[in-house]
Amino acid sequence: PQIDSYDNNADYTIHCSLPGVKSKDIEVIYDKEHNQVIIKGKYLESCKQSTENITIRERWSGSFERKITLPLTQNQTISSDDIKASLKSGVLEVTILKGKKLENKLKRIPVAT
């Protein structure tokens, strides 16, 4: 499916065109290892007419999958709790809040005595 992706100050936003797809047929996954949002689903046949009468067939049915790699900096993190998805008028909107930048890869933990 076609997407538009936005890099805003506070978040990343993805709009994905999914006309006729119901929310129960969509799955949104965050792959932390690859910094990717994966959109999976399926288009169902909208019409159960005989294939004998078809003169033009441009719409298709079946499964789809789209992977969108997020442009994270090396020291930026995202929590799956900060990802929201909603479907309205055939457009899936996925909003990913930008994580806080980590100061260092290592963080010293104080030891209590």
Look at residue 37 and tell me whether its pLDDT is greater than 50: yes
Higher pLDDT, 80 or 110: 80
Look at the pTM and tell me if it is higher than 0.95.
no
User: Phi, psi at residue 66, to the nearest 5°?
Assistant: -135, 130
- Percentage of the chain modeled with pLDDT above 90: 38
Three-class DSSP category at 68? strand
Level-2 CATH architecture, domain 3-97: Sandwich (2.60)
Q: What whole-number distance in Å separates Cα of residue 60 and Cα of residue 113?
A: 67
Average pLDDT over residues 68-97: 86
Which sequence spans correspond to the domains of the chain? 3-97
Asked whether 70 and 77 are in contact (CB, 8 A), the reply is no
pLDDT of the residue at 76: 75
β strands within 21-90, DSSP E: 26-31, 36-43, 62-69, 83-88
